[in-house]
């Protein structure tokens, strides 16, 4: 069993609200980490992990939440694809961080944990 499979199995043991809380936490970390260019590898990993969290959770949520999560996954993929440009441009990096904070709040609101 590879590391991704193990992570998936562990992640799926949590309830959907807890999983959404984990996704929200990842997005909040991205929002904080973008301030320091030294954190770029950590941001890359958080984006990748967040996309998996969405994949593993969206199918178990209400249709509106699923649609929002899939849209978020697309937005993360787009930002990931343009990451080299974002990395070199502080304004773009900080803008991505602001988006990540907004996404984090939205996911947390949808989680039912508040």
Please report, for the chain, the start and end positions of each structural domain, with discontinuous segments joined by +.
Answer: 18-107
Sign of the dihedral defined by the CA atoms of residues 16, 111, 99, 69, in that order: positive
* Mean pLDDT of all residues in 63-82: 94
What SS3 state is found at 49?
A: helix
pLDDT in tens, 48-66: 999 999 999 999 999 999 9
User: What is the DSSP code (8-state) at residue 61?
Assistant: S
Closest to 75 (Cα-Cα) out of 87, 63, 84, 67: 67
- Average pLDDT over the chain, rounded to an integer: 92
CB-CB contact of 24 with 104 (8 Å) = yes
* Mean pLDDT of all residues in 66-72: 96
């Amino acid at each position: 069993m590879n590391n991704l499979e193990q992570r998936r199995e562990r992640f799926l043991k949590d309830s959907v609200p807890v999983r959404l809380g984990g996704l929200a936490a990842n997005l909040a970390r991205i929002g904080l980490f973008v301030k320091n260019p030294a954190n770029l590898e950590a941001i890359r990993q958080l984006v990748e992990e967040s996309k998996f969290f969405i994949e593993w959770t969206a199918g178990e949520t209400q249709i509106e939440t699923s649609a929002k999560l899939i849209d978020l996954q697309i937005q993360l993929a787009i930002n990931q694809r343009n990451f080299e440009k974002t990395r070199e441009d502080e304004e773009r990096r900080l803008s991505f961080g602001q988006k990540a904070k907004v996404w984090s709040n939205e996911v947390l609101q949808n989680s039912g944990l508040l």
